[in-house]
Each structure stands twice: as structure tokens, then as C-alpha cells.
């Protein structure tokens, strides 16, 4: 029986909902082995983490619990500067990676000893012991290849800091000057589709064109992670990366922030790659993935009366769409995929009360989930209809948002604004390219008749 991680006993952030599950050949089942934490300290700082395991859960569990210990004992101080917070996050990754390797020192030594024995066996000993040695080496390599990607978010002094390695993402959903909801990707994916990572690998002497085609660094697709000593300290064993002048897969995080948390910040999303890659597979457009995920979350905010169920409901919808897509196209989903979705509400919904008593709900809100994704500095926009949440029978539940009121009624999220007949709304769609193409077509005589 797997021991319950001590991180489960940390004080929970009540404005966060989490869902985690295993997808095994399309059979999705929830799991108590949630590889994430969402805790709140005594001075109201909050720490969130999502971990996506590679080759088993053992290393990911170790890394998750060690990371929480590094950052919470002691917790950040209100006197820490922004740079001190950034440095603390950076050092936490270094310390956890070091602790992980030390945890496997004995196994690494045993592996070296067994390989030496294989090289020195005579013919008689080879026939007697070779299979046992090879079997044990395979078991050790399985343990040593365990690792995880990580994304951390720290809310401290009303500022947001984010750190990540791998393809696990952090998304911030916020409103612009026109009160339109947009989503910005705060993290960069550490993969072979990242030109910065390809440049780093080329500087190590690797042929990035071959890596780009192969899409693997040793035994994994990501270019950064915690753990997986097999592809780090033992990378020379992999022909595709053996010529590197130093370890190609690294544990160094990218740190983002501080980001001021003002009234425009609605909610934060930490999500494992397995979630958004399912959306990519079904929708077939990687540039739209963040927007589609944010859209699903907003729709579930609208229809779910229980905020704590939102993450689970979104995951179930994504998994259902993915399985249907695989069945329709005769595809077999990758087995044993561990997926996690964490949503931290800032002010998209009213704060969850700190006691169990229900309070009369008086808030109204306008949903307009036009969202924007930031990926490699490309910003994209989509059109969307106006969404309004329905009422619920339990009118005293503080997690319910009543949107049956007039859109001009007072709201903590969308304040009452006087009607100004001649006021122009700031544009957020650039039609310059369209008009240029119309002018060219008119000049060339190829303009369609229905365009004036």
C-alpha cells in the first residue's frame, strides 16, 4: 500500500480546485495519488505545484514532497525581495535534483558494479549469471529513468511567481481594457519544438535537425526535467545524444515574474502536458489549445454550482472527447498517462468563505470568454458569444454566481459603468492585413463581387 504523502496534510488554499486521473488505454479513473499541492501559509502566501511523472510515480512522489519541503520550511517572508523569491525558487530546483540523485546513489553504484562484472565474466560464468545480471540492470535502469516535469506558482505579497521545467504549463486568465477575458501562457515548453532549447542543444554539439525529426532526447521528449538520471548522468549510453559536451537534459528552471495580481487577474491554471495535448489531438490546432482549455473552464464556471468540481468536470469532458476521437479514428491512446488540472480562482468567482455557513449571494458577473494565448510571443484572438450563467436552486451557496441580473447592475468583478452614447470602444482586432489584401485584389481585378 502506498503511503499517503505528507503534502496532503498541508493547509489547503480554499480558492483552488484540483483534479487528477490516470488514463489507461482510454479507461480514465480518478486517483488518490494526486501529484500536486495547493497550500496556504499563515501569512496568506500560497504555493501551488503540478508534477507530471515520467516512467513511474516513485521519483515524482519523492520530488513533489521534497519540493514542498524546500519552499515551505521556512515559508517565504514578507520581507523577501522579488529577486530573493526568484532565487529561492531557482535554488529549490537545484536542491531537489541533488537530493534525488543522492537518494539513488546506492543503485547507481550497484549498476556500475554489475556492468563491470559483465565485462569480466568468463564463458562459464556468462552462461550462469548473465541473465540475472541483465535482469537486475533492467530493473535499475527503470528506477533511474523515473522523473517528472514541474510547474510551480507562488503567490506572495500580492504578486505571482512561476517556475517550470518541461512541458507542464501555467496559464493566467485576465481581462483587458475592454473587460474581455484573455489567457496568457506564462511558461515556455521545454521541448524540441522550442527554438531556444534547440539553440542550447546545438551549442552542446548536437545535430538539432536529427533531434527535431526524432523528437526524443534519449528516452524522453522534453529537454528539461527533474530526475531521470539515466538521460542525464548516463546520457552517453544514448547514441542520439552521446556526442554532447555536457548533459543535454537539465534541471534548471525558467523563472517568470513577479506579476502584479490586480483586479484584471481572474484565475490561474496549472496543467500537465497530457491534458492540453489531448485537446491538440482532437482539435488539430496547437495554437488554439490554451484558448480552448480556458473556454472549457469558463463554461464550467457557468454551469457548475460547486467550484470544487470544476477541474474534475473539465478533465472528464476532455477525456471523453479524446476517447471518442481515438475510437472514431481507430487509435490507441498512450497507456498510464497521469493528467492533472489545477485552477486557482482570484476574482472570477466570489471568494469562498472561511467557514461552512452559507451566505446570501449578491454578486452578478458577465462572462465573455474571448481568450488570447501567448506562445512564443504570438497572440491570437477568437470570437465568442456572450455567456450568462443560470441560477441555481440553492440561492444561499456562496460559490454560485447569479448572472440573471441586468448586465448594468453593480458587480465586484465588472463594476457599473455609465452609458455613454458617443464613446468608442477600443479595438482589439487588427484589420490592416484584410484591407491591404482587398486593395491589392481590387487593383489586380481579382476582387470578388460580393466585397464592396
3-state SS of 211-261 is HHHHCCECCECECECEECHHHCCCHHHCCCCCCCCCCCCECCCEEEEEEEC
**Is the distance from CB of 229 to CB of 237 less than 8 angstroms?**
no
pLDDT at site 450? 62
Output the pLDDT for position 430.
56
What does the pLDDT read at residue 352? 62
SS3 432: helix
Of all helices (H) and strands (E), which one includes residue 319? Answer: helix 310-328
Q: Which domains does the chain possess?
A: 6-121+137-345 (3.60.40.10)
Handedness of CA 112, 116, 118, 124 (dihedral sign): negative
d(CA 330, CA 393): 43
Whether 154 contacts 341, CB under 8 Å: no
The Cα–Cα gap between 299 and 293 comes to 10
Would you state the torsion angle of the CA atoms of residues 187, 189, 190, 192, taken in this order, to the nearest 10 degrees?
-160
What the block records as the C-alpha cell of 317 is 469532458
pLDDT in tens, the chain (452 residues): 456 788 888 889 999 999 988 765 445 544 556 789 999 998 889 999 999 999 888 999 999 999 999 999 999 998 999 999 999 999 999 999 999 999 999 999 999 999 888 888 776 666 667 888 889 999 999 999 999 999 999 999 999 999 999 999 999 999 998 889 999 999 999 999 999 999 999 999 999 999 988 889 999 999 999 999 999 999 999 999 999 999 999 999 999 999 999 999 999 999 999 999 999 999 887 788 999 999 999 999 988 889 999 999 999 999 999 989 999 998 887 777 889 999 999 988 876 655 544 333 333 334 444 444 444 333 333 333 323 333 333 333 333 232 222 222 222 333 333 444 454 444 445 556 667 777 777 888 777 766 66
φ, ψ of residue 75 to 5 degrees: the values are -75, 165
pLDDT at 126: 67
Instruction: Give the residue among 104, 82, 101, 83 at the shortest CA–CA distance from 93.
Output: 101
pTM tops 0.85, yes or no:
no
- Reduced to 3 states, what is the DSSP secondary structure of residue 169? strand
Q: How many helices (H) and strands (E) does the chain have?
A: 10, 14
d(CA 302, CA 364): 12
Amino acid at each position: 500500500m502506498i503511503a499517503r504523502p505528507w503534502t496532503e496534510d498541508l493547509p489547503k488554499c480554499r480558492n483552488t480546485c484540483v483534479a487528477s486521473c490516470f488514463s489507461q488505454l482510454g479507461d480514465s479513473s480518478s486517483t488518490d495519488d494526486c501529484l500536486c499541492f495547493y497550500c496556504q501559509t499563515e501569512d496568506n502566501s500560497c504555493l501551488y505545484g503540478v508534477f507530471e511523472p515520467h516512467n513511474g510515480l516513485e521519483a515524482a512522489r519523492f520530488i513533489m514532497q521534497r519540493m514542498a519541503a524546500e519552499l515551505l520550511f521556512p515559508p517565504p517572508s514578507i520581507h523577501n525581495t522579488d529577486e530573493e523569491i526568484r532565487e529561492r525558487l531557482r535554488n529549490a530546483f537545484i536542491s531537489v535534483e541533488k537530493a534525488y540523485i543522492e537518494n539513488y546513489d546506492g543503485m547507481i553504484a550497484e549498476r556500475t558494479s554489475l556492468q563491470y562484472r559483465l565485462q569480466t565474466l568468463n564463458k562459464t560464468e556468462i552462461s550462469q549469471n548473465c541473465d540475472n545480471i541483465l535482469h537486475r540492470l533492467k530493473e535499475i535502469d527503470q528506477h533511474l529513468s523515473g522523473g517528472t516535469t514541474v510547474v510551480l506558482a507562488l503567490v506572495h505579497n500580492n504578486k505571482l511567481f512561476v517556475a517550470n521545467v518541461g512541458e507542464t504549463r501555467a496559464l493566467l486568465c485576465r481581462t483587458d481594457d475592454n473587460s474581455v477575458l484573455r489567457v496568457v501562457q506564462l511558461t515556455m515548453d521545454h521541448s524540441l519544438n522550442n527554438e531556444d532549447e534547440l539553440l542550447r542543444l546545438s551549442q552542446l554539439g548536437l545535430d538539432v535537425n536529427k533531434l527535431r525529426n526524432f523528437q526524443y532526447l534519449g528516452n524522453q521528449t522534453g529537454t528539461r526535467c527533474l530526475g531521470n538520471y539515466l538521460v542525464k548522468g548516463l546520457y552517453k549510453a544514448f547514441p542520439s545524444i552521446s556526442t554532447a559536451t555536457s548533459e543535454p537534459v537539465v534541471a534548471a528552471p525558467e523563472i517568470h515574474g513577479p506579476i502584479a495580481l490586480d483586479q484584471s487577474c481572474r484565475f490561474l491554471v496549472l496543467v500537465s502536458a497530457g491534458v492540453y495535448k489531448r485537446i491538440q489531438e482532437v482539435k488539430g490546432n496547437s495554437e488554439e489549445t490554451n484558448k480552448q482549455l480556458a473556454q472549457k473552464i469558463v463554461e464550467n464556471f457557468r454551469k457548475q454550482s460547486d467550484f470544487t468540481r470544476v477541474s474534475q468536470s473539465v478533465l472528464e469532458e476532455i477525456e471523453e472527447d479524446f476517447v471518442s476521437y481515438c475510437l472514431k479514428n481507430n487509435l490507441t491512446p498512450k497507456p498510464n498517462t497521469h493528467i492533472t488540472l489545477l485552477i486557482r480562482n482570484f476574482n472570477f468567482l466570489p471568494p469562498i468563505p472561511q467557514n461552512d455557513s452559507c451566505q446570501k449571494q449578491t454578486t452578478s458577473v458577465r462572462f465573455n470568454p474571448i481568450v488570447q494565448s501567448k506562445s512564443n510571443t504570438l497572440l491570437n484572438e477568437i470570437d465568442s458569444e456572450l455567456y450568462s450563467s443560470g441560477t441555481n436552486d440553492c440561492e444561499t451557496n456562496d460559490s454560485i454566481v447569479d448572472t440573471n441580473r441586468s448586465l448594468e447592475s453593480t458587480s465586484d468583478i465588472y463594476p457599473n459603468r455609465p452609458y455613454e452614447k458617443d464613446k468608442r470602444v477600443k479595438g482589439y482586432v487588427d484589420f490592416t492585413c484584410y484591407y491591404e489584401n482587398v486593395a491589392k485584389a481590387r487593383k489586380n481585378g481579382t476582387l470578388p463581387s460580393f466585397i464592396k
